[in-house]
Amino acid sequence: MEQEDLSVELSDQDRILLVFGYLGPLAIFALIATRREFVKWHARQGLVLFAVMAALYVPAKAFHKIANRYFWGWVGELFWGCVWLIALGVLLTMLLCILRALEGERFKIPMLGDLADRI
């Protein structure tokens, strides 16, 4: 994972908005409420992370229902367990990003950070 040290000084408002940037839909509030590019970049990366996870959740839930109904029930439950492990990984990634942002660093999630740069 790529990191860039920007060593920026953050106000209390910036710190709150950085946390909001990784809390799903609250990232929109962080984008609107700040003028600092550092906070906006983290909010965009948080929005991209949330959008990807939301887009992957719908087919995962549908596959879980189909697997439980038409295949053996344990296949669907095994798949759902894998989904929860991935969700735990995303939660840990969000916490890492929040901590790095509060330290004044721009921590890029592979592929998603590049997408946040383009938005």
Full-prediction pTM beyond 0.85? no
As a whole number of Å, the CA-based R_g of the chain is: 17
Q: Tell me if 42 sits within 8 A of 99, measured CB to CB.
A: no
pLDDT tens digits, the chain, 119 residues: what are they?
455 444 568 888 889 999 999 998 998 998 898 888 999 999 999 999 999 888 888 888 888 777 777 777 777 778 888 888 988 998 999 999 999 999 988 888 888 888 887 88
Q: What is the structure's pLDDT at 5?
A: 47
pLDDT at residue 10 in the model: 81
Which residue shows structure tokens 């383009």? Answer: 118
Q: What is the pLDDT of residue 114?
A: 81
Burial profile 59-95: b = 16 or more Cβ within 10 angstroms, e = fewer: eeeeebeebbeeeeeeebeebbeeeeeeeeebeebbe
**Residues shown for the chain:** 119
Helix (H) or strand (E) holding 91: helix 73-102
pLDDT at 7: 55
Strand partners, 107: 3
What does the alpha-carbon distance between residue 2 and residue 67 come to, in Å, rounded to a whole number? 38
